[in-house]
Chains A and B, each alone.
Chain A
Amino acid sequence: MNEIIQTTVGGLTLGAQYALMALGFSLAFGILRVINFAHGALYVVGGYVAYFVTGQIGLPYVFGVMAAVLATAAIGYLFELFIIERRIDDHLATIVLTLGLSLIGGAAMLGLFGPQAVRFPPVVSGTLQLGGVYIPYGRILVIVVAAFAIAAVYLLLYKTQMGGALRALTDDREMAIAMGMRPKVLFPLAFAIAAGLAGLTGALVTPQFSLAPFVGEHVLMISFLAVILGGLGSLPGAVIASVLVGLVESFVGVYVGGSWAPLILFTGILVLLVIRPTGILGHRTVNA
């Protein structure tokens, strides 16, 4: 019994981490219709900025996290404003452009910090023991931040004027402009938030795992899984799918063997998408 609880808790913490990873990716896709291939690279950049501020300058971890968010948000803002915005309606172009940013990001970290994985100073250590269940504090931090970030993104999109404008621009850009909205002001901000979320995730998760120039690929893959499985552009769908992926990975790891997890996940998702092509919470576009 303890083993099942421990495995479930492990799956949920993994799921929360995946949800945080996928959040910015899902936001960029949901609002800008841009498949951000640089999402993993921004995660890595966030990790390195936090490492630089904490491990090399020696400031407290919280400053490292803040610096990571600001740096990646700034990259996202400038990248959207000067590069993506010109080609926003050309899906192939935005894929190639974000892929380019991804390669530049990885290469820049390689040049600056070398190919070896860097060692973070211990930032959040220790393990919470509840009955027979163990949860590292680092993971708890990720869960708490993930919950806050998801709530913040939800409130931004559904309870603020800026969020309403962003959703209107997504629905019908030309009509939204005819009501006075300015995509050239709002879209860079939205992309900055999405990029900042990637940086935040990198700053929180890489100290618990590993940090090397190309560890972002795994994050990009998880984000893709969550967004496709959850239904393209659906934030709640992405969160549910992330938790589901985390649980499957955790249970397969304990009861079947960790090496089988990716195969079982990908096969399962393929079957699910054949049965339900729109994903868990996706819906077909209604043509009025």
Chain B
Amino acid sequence: MAEATELLRSEGLTVRYGGIEALRGIDIYVNSGETVVVVGANGAGKSSLMKAVIGMVPVAGGSLVFEGQNITSTSTAKRAKMGIRISPEGRRVFANLTIEANMLAGGYTMSTKERAASMEWLFDTFPMLADRRNAKAGTLSGGQQQMVAIARALTARPKLLLLDEPFLGLSPVAIAETSNAIRVVQEQGMAVLISEQMARPALKLASRGYVLRSGSLRRSGAVAEIRELALSEDYL
């Protein structure tokens, strides 16, 4: 295996909504090919962190570096082109579009040929997508929508996949299926940053993690080091 190179780094990342600080001086990093989890209670700032990385919320202070380039003020569309994709909180699939059209949209920045190959791989790997490719995404179950949201992000074969609350509102069976899908992503060598309130299934997927509380980092380190605090945070 190649030596780990740094893919994403945030330094002193701060996000404000009006006068309220949602994130205060966050320092995190993600190496290429690794899976990192950010756990914390509702309102801890997990989604703000994910949105700041993709550019959906403006950064009030600090910096973001992706593959050695400062992307702090780069547009969202440009970041997408650089290889960052998000499966957002609440999934937000294109409800009126079919599964296939959702995936086509996910691969918008690719060439037709690349995109077709990528979609074929996804259809082979996740048969549910192929079986229901002409179903409108809005008619699917929560677990299926989560699969579509992940597949939509994967179509573009991103270097960094952001999964914001992938288990939220899912049944135990759907959580297991989503976890399996994430493992397939890991085997492809993509870096994954997961934010999740449900620490237990999320910690199983990651090698490192951060515990977030009230917009600040409480602890960081290997999963074994943060497990205890992460699980206690789950019930706050």
Contact = CB atoms under 8 A, between A and B. Distances in A.
Given A161-B104, A286-B139, A178 B80 contact: yes
A276 B102 CA distance: 30
Contact of A175 (B92, B96, B109): B92
A286 B95 contact: yes
A11 to B, nearest CB: 32
A180 B145 contact: no
Interface string A130-147: 000000000000000000
Contact of B97 (A164, A178, A182, A285): A164
Contact of A178 (B86, B142, B145): B86
A167 B93 CA distance: 12
Contacts of A161: 104, 108, 112
A174 B56 contact: yes
Interface of chain A, main secondary structure = helix
Contacts, number: 74
A288 to B, nearest CB: 6
A248 B41 CA distance: 61
Interface in A160-202: 161, 164-165, 167-168, 170-172, 174-182
B95 A171 contact: yes
Contact of B77 (A167, A171, A181): A181
Nearest to B138: A286
A92 B1 CA distance: 58
Contacts of B139: 286
Nearest to A184: B77
A172 B104 CA distance: 15
A180 B77 contact: yes
Nearest to A171: B94
Given A165-B105, A286-B139, A177 B76 contact: yes
B93 A165 contact: no
B101 interface: yes
B54 A164 contact: no
Interface residues of A, number: 20
Interface centre among B56, B105, B109 (most CB of A within 10 A): B105
Nearest to B84: A178
Contacts of A288: 90-91, 93, 95, 138, 142, 145
A180 B109 contact: yes
A178 B108 contact: no
Interface residues of B, number: 32
Contacts of A165: 105, 108
A167 B94 contact: yes
B88 interface: yes
A208 B178 CA distance: 61
A70 B19 CA distance: 49
B81 interface: yes
Nearest to B55: A178
A85 to B, nearest CB: 15
Contacts of A176: 94, 105
B106 interface: yes
A181 B93 CA distance: 15
A251 B139 CA distance: 40
Contacts of A167: 94, 96-97, 101
Contact of B108 (A171, A172, A174, A179): A179
Interface in B84-137: 85-86, 88, 90-97, 101-102, 104-106, 108-109, 112
B215 to A, nearest CB: 22
Interface string B33-70: 00000000000000000000011100000000000000
B156 interface: yes
Contacts of A174: 56
B114 to A, nearest CB: 13
A181 B108 contact: yes
Interface of A: 161, 164-165, 167-168, 170-172, 174-182, 285-286, 288
Given A161-B108, A175-B88, 14 more contacts: A164-B97, A167-B96, A167-B97, A168-B101, A177-B77, A178-B56, A178-B80, A179-B108, A180-B81, A182-B77, A286-B138, A286-B139, A288-B138, A288-B142
26 contacts: A161-B108, A164-B97, A164-B108, A167-B101, A168-B102, A168-B105, A171-B94, A171-B96, A174-B56, A178-B55, A178-B86, A179-B85, A179-B105, A179-B108, A179-B156, A180-B77, A180-B81, A180-B109, A180-B156, A181-B77, A181-B105, A181-B108, A286-B138, A288-B90, A288-B95, A288-B145
Q: Which are the 3 A-B pairs with shortest beta-carbon distances?
A: A180-B80, A180-B109, A171-B94
